[in-house]
């Protein structure tokens, strides 16, 4: 019985160590850049998802309630990714990358919020105008990813 308890405690500690490793803030500039790339990828994915929802609504290929849920989820996911990245302390030499990504993340979440708000208000005709900035934001995120990788 004692051996089983010790094994269970050891297994629990191992799980906690693994969770800490996955959630631990990046310590090196390379690790920070890697997190920046992952964050930009997530933001870009949410922008692209919203653009797909906008197209399906415009083409009458989805219901408005489904699109509204998609818009809300995209904004939430982008906001979560941005706030997680913003919580990391940038290692020396990465301040410019942090400024650039956090500024861009703010623009992304604001653009996604504008789409969500318009849909919630029933302003479906305004969605193309509200979503117009998304293509450019997607390109800027892609550029940031490429620059952070090099």
- Write out the chain's pLDDT in tens, 150 residues: 666 655 555 555 555 444 444 456 677 999 999 999 999 999 999 999 999 999 999 999 999 999 999 999 999 999 999 999 999 999 999 999 999 999 999 999 999 999 999 999 999 999 999 899 999 999 999 999 999 988
Calpha distance 31→25 (Å, rounded): 9
Phi, psi torsion values for 91, nearest 5 degrees: -65, 160
Task: Classify residue 144: in a domain, yes or no.
Answer: yes
- Cα–Cα distances (Å) from 122 to 28, 56, 78, 116, 117, in that order, read 47, 16, 23, 10, 9
Is pTM beyond 0.85 here?
A: no
Task: Classify residue 128: in a domain, yes or no.
Answer: yes
Task: Classify residue 12: in a domain, yes or no.
Answer: no
Longest dimension (CA), the chain: 68
Contact in structure between 56 and 62 (CB atoms under 8 Å): yes
Domain limits for position 98? 26-149
HSE-up (13 A, CA, CB side) for residue 85: 31
Calpha distance 14→67 (Å, rounded): 42
| Tally of domains in the chain | 1
Calpha distance 92→45 (Å, rounded): 29
Q: Tell me the CATH number at 64.
A: 1.20.120
Contact in structure between 114 and 130 (CB atoms under 8 Å): yes
Task: Classify residue 131: in a domain, yes or no.
Answer: yes
Task: Classify residue 99: in a domain, yes or no.
Answer: yes
Task: Classify residue 120: in a domain, yes or no.
Answer: yes
Task: Classify residue 38: in a domain, yes or no.
Answer: yes
Q: Which residues lie below 8 Å from residue 145, measured CB to CB, with a gap of 6+? A: 37, 40, 41, 44
What are the structure tokens assigned to 76, written together? Answer: 């939430």
Task: Classify residue 13: in a domain, yes or no.
Answer: no
């Amino acid at each position: 019985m004692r051996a089983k308890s010790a094994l269970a405690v050891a297994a629990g500690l191992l799980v906690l160590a693994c969770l800490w490793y996955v959630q631990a803030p990046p310590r090196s500039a390379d690790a920070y850049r890697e997190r920046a790339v992952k964050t930009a990828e997530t933001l870009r994915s949410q922008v692209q998802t919203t653009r797909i929802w906008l197209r399906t609504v415009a083409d009458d290929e989805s219901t408005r309630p489904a699109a509204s849920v998609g818009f809300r989820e995209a904004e939430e996911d982008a906001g979560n990714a941005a706030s997680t990245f913003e919580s990391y302390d940038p290692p020396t030499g990465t301040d410019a990358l942090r400024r650039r990504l956090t500024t861009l993340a703010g623009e992304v979440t604001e653009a996604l919020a504008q789409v969500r708000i318009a849909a919630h208000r029933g302003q479906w005709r305004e969605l193309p105008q509200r979503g117009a900035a998304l293509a450019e934001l997607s390109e800027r995120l892609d550029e940031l990813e490429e620059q952070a990788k090099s």
